[in-house]
Structure 1
Amino acid sequence: MNSLQRALIEKIGTDNGFEHTLVVEVSSVTLASARHATCATVAIRDNGFDIYFKSDMVSLLPELTRSFPTKQQSGGFSVADEAAFAALLRRTAGLSRALPSQVAIGYDAAVAEALSALPDGKTGTEIERAVRLRVGQQKFREALLEYWRGSCAVTGIALPEVLRASHAKPWAECSSDAERLDVFNGFLLVANLDALFDRFLISFDDQGGLLTSPRLSVTDLLKLGIHSGMRLRWLAAEHQKYLSLHRSIYEAYSLAIR
């Protein structure tokens, strides 16, 4: 690898979420970031780049394989050009910031910072609870925006003003901050779907297909822009435990009104 090739890799890394050069070897460069814990080792090949990621997040590789199924090669990824290399790094950095452990790591620090900014005398259990709720919901929304690439998990609409971070297991019922902030405990939904999901008037089956409550008439569904065949754009295995809980409540509510 010559100096120009190294400079190119470092520039693409800096622009796409890997701003630090950790290790330089004869045939590869390892990139890292202060914003997440994933490292990327990059080598130049005749027709592109070979990239190998190191991360403690077990869900990272499956998510990357979902996004780049044709690029995976022997535990790493091979891409043909600079644009594909940049896209892979950008998605990896986004997921590395959004996946569960990374979100939880920064949560307490963000809460402490928010509490320290309060005026003197504005402290106490209720104030802290409100701050933790606000910061937690903000972090959860940021994580879902990263994970779903800024688009509704069902419709693909990418207008931030109408997107909501929907919990599958309600915030108040979560047993820990880790559950509340788990990116797999919910979906990024447009406002009408969010409102219905939050009230258990819709849910999703194990394959991501939309389920609708008998309380919703055909006319209601048409006016809401909801139609048969709507489904989640993808569904990870880690979603299933939360979705199963949500669906059980949805089914109980649906049975109660029949």
Structure 2
Amino acid sequence: MNILKRALIEKTGHENGFENILSSHDDGVLLGSALHGIQALIAEDNYRWIVDIHSEVSKYLYSELTRCFPNATRPDRKFVLLQINDLAIFLRRASKLAQSLPNQLAVDYDKQVTEELTHFADAETKATEIERIVRQRIGQQKFRDGMLQYWGGACAVTGVDVTEVLRASHAKPWAECKSDTERLDVFNGFLLCAHLDALFDRFLISFDDKGQMLISPKLSQNQRDILGLNDDLCLRWIADRHLLYLDYHRAKFFDLQGG
């Protein structure tokens, strides 16, 4: 790989979530970032870009990338991108996923909570309502940030990408989660438009294991029409990790319908 190709990789990485050049030589360029824990080793072979992702961040990263880029996946777990623009899209998505998938969100959350609580000198104060409020505020913001990254800034159902009207909806409610790991798990919910979020939060809609929307019989046909609800609505995709939380949400959904 000549110096011009290495420079092109370095520039593409810097612009798409991999600002650190860990090494650069004829065999390839190793990229990283201070924002997440994954590294990308990029080589060139016959005018194709070969990407090998190394991650200690999340065991879910590879499966999510194969879902996003099925035609780029090789049996050796490397990815092949044909154009430099394809490489840019791949790196940008990998960076977003690395910052949103389980573990990284929890690490960032713990760090920020610790920093904010240091402003309270009284150790007893930290164990009171103040700490609970701080943890919930930071946690909910981290969850929303993670959801925006995971779903590409668009509603999980409609694809609407107006962030001002998007809400991070928990399938297993915040107060009912047993740990911060559950609360911050991006698979514990969906990024939804405000009206869908309100319906999901009140168990007036849910989703089956294939992502098809379930609509409460409590909503009249007129209400469904006004809200734009129909039997064709479904999640843009659904991962296996969603199913456990969906099962929890669906049980409450059916319980509230009396069925």
The TM-score normalised by the length of structure 1 is 0.95
> Which residue is equivalent to 2:43?
43
1:250 aligned to 220, 239, 253, which one? 253
Note the C-alpha offset of 1:121: 11
**Cα distance in 2 between the residues matched to 1:140 and 1:245:** 19
Aligned to 2:59: 58
SS of residue in 1 equivalent to 2:235: coil
* CA RMSD in angstroms, aligned pairs only: 1.7
| Offset at residue 39 of structure 1 (A) | 0.7
Q: Aligned AA for 2:42?
A: V
1:163 is the counterpart of 2:166: yes
In the other structure, the counterpart of 1:223 is 226
Residue 48 of structure 1: how far off its partner (Å)? 2.3
Partner residue in 2 for 1:146? 149
Partner of 1:208: 211
Shift of 1:4: 1.4
- State the alpha-carbon separation in 2 of the partners of residues 179 and 4 from structure 1: 45
Counterpart residue number, 1:176: 179
Cα separation, 2, equivalents of 1:122 and 1:220: 50
1:73 is matched with 74
CA distance in 1, matches of 2:118, 2:229: 45
Measured in 2, the distance between the counterparts of 1:190 and 1:114 equals 31
Query: Over residues 49-94 of structure 1, what are the superposed CA-to-partner deviations in whole Å (9 max), with x where a residue is unaligned?
Result: 1101011322111111111111112311111111100000000000
In structure 2, distance between residues paired with 1:89 and 1:66: 15
Task: State the 1:105 CA deviation.
Answer: 0.6
- Give the distance between the partners of 2:176 and 2:124, measured in 1 at CA: 27
The percent of aligned pairs where both chains have the same amino acid is: 50
Give the counterpart letter for 1:41 in structure 2. Answer: L
Q: CA deviation at 1:111?
A: 1.2
CA–CA separation in structure 1 for the residues paired with 2:47 and 2:4: 16
Q: Deviations over 1:113-162 (max 9, x none)?
A: 23345699994511111111000000000000000000000000001111
What are the within-5 Å matches in structure 2 for residues 179-190 of structure 1?
179-190=182-193
Q: Matched residue of 1:70: which SS? A: helix
Q: 3-state DSSP class of the match of 2:112?
A: helix
Matches of residues 28-39 of structure 1 in structure 2 within 5 Å?
A: 28-39=28-39
Cross-structure match for 1:5: 5
Deviation of 1:226 (Å): 1.1
The equivalent residue for 1:83 is 85
SS where residue 241 of structure 2 aligns?
A: helix
Residue of structure 1 equivalent to 2:94: 92
CA distance in 2, matches of 1:231, 1:176: 29
SS of the residue corresponding to residue 113 of structure 1 reads helix
Map of 1:11-26 to 2, 5 A cutoff? 11-26=11-26
Deviation at 1:23, TM superposition (A): 2.6
Q: Which one of 214, 239, 242 corresponds to residue 239 of structure 1?
A: 242
Report the secondary structure of 1:151's partner residue: coil
Correspondence 1:101 to 2:84: no
Secondary structure of the structure 1 residue equivalent to 2:71: coil
Cα separation, 2, equivalents of 1:63 and 1:100: 12
Provide the secondary structure at the position in 1 that maps to 2:258: helix
Give the whole-Å Cα distance in 1 for the aligned partners of 2:17 and 2:198. Answer: 33
Count of matched residue positions in the alignment of Structure 1 and Structure 2: 256
Q: 1:226 to 1:117 in 2, by over 3 A?
A: farther
